[in-house]
Amino acid sequence: MMGRIIVCDTGPLLHLSEAGAVHLLGKAGDVFVPPCVVAEFETNAQGWKMPVWVQVRDLHDTTRMRATDWTRTENIDAGEAEAISLALQLDASWFLTDDARARRFAEILGLEVHGSIGLLLWNTVVGNVEDEAQALKLLDDLALSSLWVSERVLSDARNAIHLLYANP
């Protein structure tokens, strides 16, 4: 175990798979998902397989009930609710989601939240991305995936990548 526990909902797994960058998730720590995320991934994946290093963990009964309540009261889907519950259950270092509502809710609960682009930037900072050209290509590939991202966020990420490589 690397020490960093990451719980991920379905979005980043799909978006990173579509962009050919899911390997970056495995470099960030030990990745856990609840069974609901596996089911959502399999339903939405277009030929991609769940990476073998992703660990599936069941929710405790009380955690599962809390997740069910959140799907009704917080307007988040089952995969997001179960992943947030699992992150709390495992005392995760990071919770990964690309959904704005799930991000805000998880932050309110005290979780450190990142998305696919944040994961790419983290991997760039720690040297897991070969060079600026590769970082920019991965960012472009994420932008071409099913991930919705604003032009402002893309511009900010491109600027961050340029700055990272301008000041080695």
Q: Both 83 and 149 in a single domain?
A: no
Q: Both 149 and 109 in a single domain?
A: no
Q: Both 10 and 88 in a single domain?
A: yes
Domain count for the chain, please give it: 2
Task: Supply the pTM of this predicted model.
Answer: 0.91
The pLDDT value recorded for residue 1 is 41
C-alpha distances out from residue 20 to 74, 77, 143, Å: 32, 25, 12
Q: Both 139 and 91 in a single domain?
A: no
Q: Both 33 and 100 in a single domain?
A: yes
Per-residue pLDDT 10s for the chain (168 aa) are: 458 999 999 999 999 999 999 999 999 999 999 999 999 999 988 888 889 999 999 999 998 999 998 998 888 999 999 999 999 999 999 999 999 999 999 999 999 999 999 999 999 999 999 899 999 999 999 999 999 999 999 999 999 999 988 865
| Cα 11 to Cα 116: distance, rounded to the nearest angstrom | 8
Enclosing domain of residue 161: 117-166
